[in-house]
Amino acid sequence: MTRTVGMILCGGFGKRLRPITEKIPKPLIEIKKDYTILDKQLFDFKNAGVDQVLLLTGFLSDVIQERYGEEYGGVQIKYIEEDEPLGTLNAIKLGMDSLGDSEQCVIRNGDVVADLNIKKMIEQGRKSDYPLSIFITKMVSPYGIVEISGDRLVSFKEKPVLDYYINGGVYFSKGEIDFGEFDVGDIEKTVFPMLAKENKLGYYKEDGLFWMAIDTTKELEQIKKEYKNREDKPWGYEKVLILTEEYMTKELFLREGYRTSFHYHPQKDETMYILSGTGYIEFEDRKEYFGKNDSIRIKPNKKHSIVAMENTVLHEISTPHLDDTIRITDYYGRG
C-alpha cells in the first residue's frame, strides 16, 4: 500500500522577522501561547492521516530537534539537515532521496498557516494524471482598492478577494520529482515553471479558507489576532466571537468529510446558524440535514455530532457555558 509522508521546509533564516528569528527558527514562532506555526502544521498532518513527517532543517536545526524530538503529538519525526543553505530545491531533493519506493509526500512551506483539507488534496493528487500538484487559493489584496466610473471614484473595497490564484505553499508528489538539470535555488522559480511548461503540473484548489504566510512582523501581528480566541480542532477550528453573562457566539469551521465528536452539553442550549456549506447533525435517532442560511436548535443533554459534506462555516449562539462538553465518541486520536 502506498504511504504518504509529510515534509516541512524549516531551514530558512527568517530575515524579515529579525530580531525574533535570531534565536528562534521561523516555524517555531508562536501564533498563540505555547502554540507554534510548526505545531499547527504537525497537528493538521496528523488529522489528515499522515503519521510520519520529515523536517527539512538547516538554520537553528538543534532548536527544532530539542522541541520535537522523534515523536510529537502522535506524529513520528525525522530530520534531514542541510549542511549549507542552497535553497528549497536542494532541501526537497534531500527529503525525496530519503523516501521509499512506495512513498508519496505532501511538502509544506514552514511559514504557512492554512486551513486546507490535506486529506482531500492527497486523495485528489493520487487520482490525478499529473505527478505533482500545487495547492492554490484566491489571493486577498494586501491593500484596499477603489472602483472608478468615468472621471469619478465610486466606491472603496477593503482588502477584497481578487480573481487571481496564488501558490499556497503546499505540494503533493505521487513519486519522484523531476528536478531536470537544477540542483540549487528555489523550486518555485526553477522546477515548477519547467514542469508547467512540460504539462506535468496539476493543482488542488480551495477557496474561502484561512491562509497566511508569516513573513513580516505585520503578518505575525495579524495571525496572533486571528488566534486570540481561536482553537484548532481535528476537524477545523472554533473561535469565540462574543462571550457575555447572557450568551455566547462561536464560529465553527468544519472541513469537508470531517465531523465533530459525538457529544452533548449538560447545560448549554445552542442554535446553529449555517453561513456556508452543507452537511447534517447526527442525533441518536435521526440525521438533520442543513445548508446555507438554515438554523438548527440543539437542547441541553441532546447527544449529537456535526458532519460536514462540504467546507462549512456556522455560528453557534448559545447560553454562556464555555466548557460544557461531554465527548462520548471521539473520531480522532488525540496525541
Q: Is the dihedral of CA 281, 286, 287, 290 positive or negative?
A: negative
CA-atom Rg of the chain in angstroms = 21
Q: Is the dihedral of CA 315, 316, 322, 323 positive or negative?
A: negative
User: In whole angstroms, what is the distance from residue 329 CA to residue 299 CA?
Assistant: 19
Cα-to-chain-centroid distance, residue 61 = 23
User: In whole angstroms, what is the distance from residue 163 CA to residue 157 CA?
Assistant: 14
The reply to whether 174 belongs to the active site is: no
Catalytic, out of 15, 159, 228, 292: 159
Neighbours of 231 (CB within 10 A): 12
Maximum CA extent, the chain:
65
Q: List the one residue out of 86, 81, 87, 109 whose CA is nearest residue 9.
A: 109
In this structure, are residues 105 and 7 in contact, taking their beta carbons and an 8 Å threshold?
A: yes
Going by C-beta distance under 8 Å and a sequence separation of 6 or more, which residues neighbour residue 334? 74, 234
Cell numbers describing residue 28: 517555531
Cα-to-chain-centroid distance, residue 15 = 24
Active site residues: 159
